[in-house]
Amino acid sequence: MNDVRHDHSRWGPGDQLGAGNLLTPERRLSALRSIQTGALYDLSHEISPKAPFLMPNQTPFLQSIWASWRDSIKRRRAAGATNDAGSNVERVEMTMHVGTHIDALGHFSIGGKLYNGLNAADVVSDWGLESLGIEHMPPMISRGVLLDVAGLDGGAFLNPGRVVEPDDLARAADAAQVAVEAGDIVLIRTGWGRFFGVDNVRYLQGEPGIDIPAARWLTQRDVVAIGCDNMAVEVLPNPDRGIAMPVHQHVLVEAGVHLIENLSLDELARNGIASFCFILLAAKFKGATGCPVRPIALV
C-alpha cells in the first residue's frame, strides 16, 4: 500500500459520516420503491455463546440472568405489592464485534491516523472513541447488491486464502445483471458463512475474501458499505505475509466506508436475488468501535 493517504474527507475536516453522506433521501426512496412483494430476508446470525470469536482482540459472548422472576417477586412483595409481578433481566458481556456486526469508522487506524486525518491519540480514550464512534453512523436504507462469487463456478464455498479479485466481482455483477452504483451496499457471498456457529474452528482458521484491488474496485464506485459472509470481509491470511488487515485500513480509514461482517447470505443466493432494499440500523452505543446488527433485505 504505497499510495496510502491521510487526506481530509471530501465532505470536510469535521466529517464523521464518510460514505454515509451518500445515503440521501432520494436513494432511500428509490430503494423503498423497489420493493415489490414484501418478502423479507434476515441477513444476520443469532448472537449466542456459539458465536465464533478471535482472541485476543475478541472475547466470548457471555449472558446470564441478572434479576429473575423469583427475586423480583420477593422484592415487590416486601415493598407491599400483591400481584406477584415477576420480571427477568439479563447481563451481557461482549465485544461490539460479536456475530453479525458493522464496523465504525474509528475501528481501525493506519499508524496513529484515523479516518479524516484524526489522530488516534486524541480520539481513542479508555472509555471509547471521542470521534468516529458508531453513534455517528446514519441508518442505512439504500439499494443492496449481492455479488455471489461462490456461485460463479457452481461451488458451495471458496477456500481460506482465496482472494476475491476485481474480475470476480465484475463477473458476479454481470451474472446477476446488476451494476454497482454510488450509494449501494455491496454484499459478497463466498459461501464461508455456512460454518458460522457450526464449525467455529474451521470458520476461524482463515477465510476467502477481498484484498486491496477488489476493495478499491468497490470504494471507487462510491459504495456506502461492504459486507461479507466471513469474519473480516478481507482474505485471511493475506497473500502478502508482510501486511495485516490492509482492507480494513483502506476501506475504513482512507475511504470512510463501513464493513459488515458475519453475514448470512445463502438464502438470498438460493433465490437468485441480486438487488434489493437493504436496511440496517445500529444502536447508538456512544464511542463504540462497532455494533451487532440485524440487517434485512426486502424485495
pLDDT per residue as tens digits for the range 123-139: 999 999 999 999 999 99
Confidence of residue 8 (pLDDT cuts 50, 70, 90): confident
Is residue 2 predicted with pLDDT exceeding 50? Answer: no
The predicted-structure confidence for 151-206, as pLDDT tens digits, reads as follows 997 879 999 999 999 999 999 999 999 999 999 999 999 999 999 999 999 999 99
pTM given for the model: 0.95
CATH of domain 18-47+96-298: 3.50.30.50
Is residue 21 predicted with pLDDT exceeding 90? Answer: yes
Among 188, 294, 296, smallest CA distance to 247 is for 188
Helix (H) or strand (E) holding 213: helix 212-219
Asked whether 94 and 62 are in contact (CB, 8 A), the reply is: yes
Asked whether 235 and 211 are in contact (CB, 8 A), the reply is: yes
What residue has cell string 426512496?
29
Question: What are residue 126's phi and psi, to 5 degrees?
Answer: -65, -15
Asked whether 293 and 44 are in contact (CB, 8 A), the reply is: yes
SS3 content of the chain, % helix, strand, coil (to 5): 25, 20, 50
Percentage of the chain lying above the pLDDT 70 cut: 98
Is residue 5 predicted with pLDDT exceeding 60? Answer: no
Asked whether 275 and 145 are in contact (CB, 8 A), the reply is: yes
Q: How many residues does the chain have?
A: 299
Asked whether 19 and 257 are in contact (CB, 8 A), the reply is: yes
Asked whether 188 and 210 are in contact (CB, 8 A), the reply is: yes
Is residue 1 predicted with pLDDT exceeding 50? Answer: no
Is residue 40 predicted with pLDDT exceeding 90? Answer: yes
Computed over every residue of the chain, the mean pLDDT equals 95
The predicted-structure confidence for 61-99, as pLDDT tens digits, reads as follows 999 999 999 999 999 999 999 999 999 999 999 999 999
Q: Where are the domains of the chain?
A: 18-47+96-298, 62-93
